[in-house]
């Protein structure tokens, strides 16, 4: 069945398969959002069904919660669980220091809350997401709908005073209407091309009235798992300063790949 997957999907699956090895029986696990995270949720569902592992998932979006329930992963709210042992999520971009841009799927606020309420964050990705400097991927910023055009203007004015190459912002759409997050907010995508000082940018963005949160995940990721289509995987642990290379033995299981298109 894996032979039918595209090279990118194979890489995502390999990363997800390795990342769930961090999950132990009884853990409370944050479940990320996006196509790579969806592979991880399916792998966890397989562990619940096939291995009898008992875990509690906290989803970062309504669609992740739905998928988790469909594959047999019990889901509770963060308020019910309070603190997590581990969060596994994808990334839209990562650099050598494991700083991230997230939010391409529109769940950045919930993802950041869940990640920072965890003892450890494991990020799953493929090599296409690796950059020398963050900013090639548009930076998502969640804003409240009230006065969003004023918020957008304030953001673009602020960008003239920071070290970035691009300074435009666009409202994310869902068809002809504004895209809405699970909290009912809008997302502005900032087309920056290069972010010289992510920490400074994150700080000033969150000081602008109307901004709820931004998609810069700085000093949050503990482990990065990079999957490759050939079955190899690289595990970077920033706390231990280690980089390990492994090969994942893929066992095809029909149910894992059913309805897996994202």
Give binding residues as ranges: 33-36, 89-92, 102-105, 129
Residue 111 annotated among the catalytic residues of the structure: yes
Alpha helices in 48-98 (DSSP H): 62-71, 78-81
Q: How many CA atoms lie within 13 A of 120 on its CB side?
A: 18
Binding residues for substrate: 33-36, 89-92, 102-105, 129
- Structural contact between residues 56 and 154, judged by C-beta atoms closer than 8 angstroms: no
> Please, what is the Cα angle at 27 between 121 and 12, to 5 degrees?
50
Q: Give the whole-angstrom CA distance, residue 52 versus residue 259.
A: 23
Which secondary structure element, helix H or strand E, spans residue 257, and what is its range? none
Q: Give the whole-angstrom CA distance, residue 140 versus residue 261.
A: 24
Q: 111, 156, 157, 244: which one is catalytic?
A: 111
Q: Could you give phi then psi for residue 257, rounded to 5 degrees? A: -100, 5
Q: Give the whole-angstrom CA distance, residue 159 versus residue 225.
A: 32
Identify the bridge partners of residue 23 per DSSP, sorted by sequence position.
Answer: none
Instruction: Return the C-alpha torsion angle 190, 194, 200, 201, nearest 10.
Output: 0
Mind telling me the catalytic residues?
Answer: 111
């Amino acid at each position: 069945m894996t032979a039918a997957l595209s090279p990118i999907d194979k890489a995502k699956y390999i990363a997800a398969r390795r990342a769930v090895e961090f999950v132990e029986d009884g853990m409370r696990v944050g479940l990320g959002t996006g196509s790579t995270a969806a592979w991880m949720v399916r792998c966890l569902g397989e562990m619940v069904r096939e291995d009898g592992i008992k875990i509690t998932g906290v989803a970062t979006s309504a669609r992740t919660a739905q998928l988790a329930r469909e594959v047999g992963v019990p889901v509770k709210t963060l308020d019910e669980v309070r603190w997590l042992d581990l969060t596994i999520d994808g990334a839209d971009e990562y650099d050598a220091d494991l700083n991230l841009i997230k939010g391409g799927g529109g769940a950045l606020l919930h993802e950041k809350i869940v990640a920072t309420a965890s003892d450890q964050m494991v990020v799953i990705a493929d090599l296409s997401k690796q950059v020398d400097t963050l900013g090639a991927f548009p930076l998502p910023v969640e804003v409240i709908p009230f006065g969003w055009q004023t918020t957008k203007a304030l953001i673009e004015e602020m960008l003239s005073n920071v070290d970035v190459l691009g300074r435009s912002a666009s409202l994310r759409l869902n068809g002809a209407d504004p895209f809405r997050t699970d909290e009912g907010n809008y997302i502005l995508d900032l087309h920056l091309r290069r972010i010289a000082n992510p920490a400074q940018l994150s700080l000033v963005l969150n000081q602008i009235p109307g901004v709820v949160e931004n998609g810069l995940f700085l000093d949050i990721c503990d482990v990065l798992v990079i999957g490759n289509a050939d079955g190899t995987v690289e595990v970077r642990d920033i706390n231990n300063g280690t980089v390990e290379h492994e090969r994942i033995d893929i066992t095809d299981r029909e149910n894992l790949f059913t309805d897996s298109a994202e």
